[in-house]
Amino acid sequence: MKHLLRYISIAGLASLSGFAPAQESVQSQIDTIKSVLPKFAIPMREVGDRFQNMYFAAKGGNWALAAYMSKYMDKSMNPASYTKAEEYQSWRYFYDTTFDPVNKAIKAQDFKAFEKEYMSTIASCNACHASMGYGFIKVVKLRKPANNGVDYKVPSKPGDVPP
C-alpha cells in the first residue's frame, strides 16, 4: 500500500505542476498511474532471470547472492499486486509455499537439497503456466546464468544480504 501511496503522491505533484489537468479526479489519476505500471509479464521476466541466476549462485557457494536473488525475485512482483491482483495472489501462494523449500535450502546452504527443490520448482512453474493458459511458456534450467556480469563464486552466507 505504501508504494501505491507514493505513486498517488507523485500524481498529486504532477497535477500541481501542470502535468495533469487540475479537473482530473484523483481516481482518474490513480487509474492512469496504474495503467503505466508493469502488469505481470514484465515483472515475471525479472523473476525468470533472478531464478536462473540463483541456481548458479548456489552452485558457486555464493549463498548471499542466491538469497538476494530470491528476495528481489519476490519483490519484483509487487507492481502486479495493484495491476493484476488475482494473478498476484497466485504468485504470493507460489512464493510462500511452493518456493519455500528452495529458500530453506538456501538458508541451510545445502546445494543438494537446493538443486532438488529448484528442479521441482521448475516443474511447478510449468504446471502453473499451463493451468493459467500459458503452457507455451516452459521454464528450463539454463546452461549459463541469465546475467554473465556477476561472479557467482564469491563465498558468502545467506545472512550477508543487507535488510
Q: From CA 46, how far away is CA 77, in angstroms rounded?
A: 9
Q: From CA 135, how far away is CA 98, in angstroms rounded?
A: 19
Q: Tell me the pLDDT of the chain (163 aa) as tens digits.
A: 555 545 445 545 444 445 555 567 888 888 888 777 777 888 999 999 999 999 999 999 999 999 999 999 999 999 888 888 888 999 999 999 999 999 999 999 999 999 999 999 999 999 999 998 999 999 999 999 999 999 999 999 999 999 9
Closest among 60, 71, 1 to 30, alpha carbons compared: 1
What is the predicted pLDDT for the residue at 11? 47
What is the predicted pLDDT for the residue at 19? 54
Give 37's DSSP letter.
Answer: S
**Residue 66 CA to its chain's centroid (Å):** 13
pTM score above 0.75: yes
Mean pLDDT of the chain: 88
What is the predicted pLDDT for the residue at 8? 47
What is the predicted pLDDT for the residue at 23? 61
Q: How many CA atoms lie within 13 A of 163 on its CB side?
A: 0
